[in-house]
Amino acid sequence: MGPVRGTKKRRKTEKTHDNNNGSGSASGSSEKEGLVDWWDELSKKINGLQKAPPMISRKTFEYICSLVKDDIAKKSSHFSFSNGKPVSLTDQVAVALRRLGSGDSFVTIGDSFGLSHSTVSQVTWRFVESMEERGLHHLQWPSTQEEMNSIKSKFEKIQGFPNCCGAVDVTHITMLLPATEQSSDVWLDHKNNHSMVLQAIVDPDMKFRDIVTGWPGKMEDWSIFESSNFNKLCDNGERLNGKKLKLSKGSEIREYIIGDSGYPQLPYLVVPYEEKEILESEPKAKFNKLHLETRMVAQRALTRLKEMWKIIRGKMWRPDKHRLPRIILVCCILHNIVIDMQDEVNDELLCFYRNNHDSGYHQLVYEGFDEKGVALRESLSHYLTGRLHT
């Protein structure tokens, strides 16, 4: 995973005994063993005003609770509802998920749960701090050849791209900053919005395998990729360095990822042909079509991310720019956990937004190329378009 700016070393806290970190229902209104099913009640509060199925399953919720349980138990703060009852582990996780999933204000969430807005803020941040450490194993580059082979096989089944290991794309997290803020111009992007960029490399299951965030939205896609740790590892031969695939006539295809025209054509990053090239060549036009249909997995992943974790979908009100990258990271981790836990997500609801995770932002085009990268694309194009006629 790429570096996430704003990450700080966790401070050690004294271990304290907390009798209120067991399971319980929101607002302390009923016990887990009560007549009202605790999950039905809690999931409604997590969903808030949204008239939709539960955002996550009970199984996934309990798994998330198991990840953060020890960290929450170590904290010395004891929170209570307005009726005086203690806020349990499940209550705290529910509050944090409501905040991240809805983007509702601290006041709105506090009113819903019977908590003060300051308690909602503290509980959410404690959850974020824990998840960015305890859940990070859900956001990793494949560590075994078996895992990577599965990714390659699934990418090839989409539109035939062999030896493909990922698709890269970016999205903007927009912010509402006061014009008087001294650093506001730093975050002003080419659409005249204040924003922070998230770059993600995605696998065929829409899981994030590497992310970079924290950079101002004015930075071009290629510049973010160029400065990323992922790119440095590739340059040094430490990533995308697996077995080459031998094609007919003696040509070979190395491991690579794919991206749109905002990225450079590199020996390990394949982008589409330029518009003028496809107008002159039908095979190149077909290649671009297959390329687009394959990299759509990254657009769908970013769309799902923003639709499920709405705190990063709209314009965030004066966010802490040091904390925001960590919130984005945790949303990406939660996105992956939902996939790993095989929660069913109704992606039909996302069809309208499928190409719209970055609404209002036009495609930037990188000027320049690498000769080895061009050779890789040519080999892929000949293989894919030639296969269509056999």
Contact 301, 207 (CB under 8 A): yes
DSSP count for the chain of H helices, then E strands:
12, 8
Q: How confident is the model at residue 346 (pLDDT cuts 50, 70, 90)?
A: low
Which pLDDT value is given to residue 1? 59
In a domain, 20, yes or no: no
**Same domain? 176 vs 78:** no
Grouping H, G, I as helix, E, B as strand and the rest as coil, residue 369 is strand
Range 147-152, long-range pairs (CB < 8 A, 24+ positions) = 148/242, 151/203, 151/204, 152/255
Please check whether residues 130 and 184 belong to one and the same domain. Answer: no
Same domain assignment for residues 273 and 151:
yes
Last residue of a domain, one of 89, 113, 134: 134
Rg (CA), the chain: 23
Please report whether residue 92 resides in a domain: yes
Residues 51 and 159 in one domain: no
Residue 86 lies in a domain: yes
Contact 288, 272 (CB under 8 A): yes
Give the pTM: 0.88
On whether both 43 and 76 belong to a single domain, the answer is yes
Strand, helix or coil for residue 215: strand
> Residue 270 forms beta bridges with which residues?
258
Q: Where are the beta strands (DSSP E) in 147-207?
A: 164-176, 194-202
Domain finish residue from 95, 111, 134: 134
The domain in which residue 32 lies consists of: 26-134
Residue 215, exposed/middle/buried by CB under 10 A (0-12, 13-18, 19+)? buried
The predicted pLDDT at position 31 comes to 43
The CATH number that applies at residue 59 is 1.10.472
Domain count, the chain: 2
pLDDT in tens, 95-135: 999 999 999 999 999 999 999 999 999 999 999 999 999 99
* Residue 3 located in a structural domain: no
Instruction: Tell me how crowded residue 132 is: count the other CB atoms within 10 A of its CB.
Output: 20
| Residue 8 pLDDT > 80 | no
Whether residue 6 is predicted with pLDDT greater than 80 in this model: the reply is no
Question: 228 versus 78: which is more confidently predicted?
Answer: 228
Residues 6+ apart with CB under 8 A from 260: 169, 221, 271, 272, 295, 363
End position of a domain, from candidates 81, 104, 134: 134
Q: Are residues 72 and 129 in the same domain?
A: yes
pLDDT in tens, 130-166: 999 999 999 999 999 999 999 999 999 999 999 999 9
Look at residue 7 and tell me whether its pLDDT is greater than 90: no
Please check whether residue 21 lies inside any domain of the structure.
no
In this predicted model, what pLDDT tens digit does every residue of 205-231 receive, in sequence order?
999 999 999 999 999 999 999 999 999
* pLDDT band, very low/low/confident/very high, at 14 (cuts 50, 70, 90): very low
Q: Are residues 63 and 180 in the same domain?
A: no
Task: Verify that 80 and 218 share a domain, yes or no.
Answer: no
Determine the Cα–Cα distance for residues 227 and 224; give it in Å rounded to an integer.
5
- Please provide the average confidence, as pLDDT, over all residues in the chain: 86
Report residue 78's pLDDT band, with 50, 70 and 90 as the boundaries. Answer: confident
Rounded Cα–Cα distance for residues 226 and 233 (Å): 11
Same domain, 285 and 332: yes
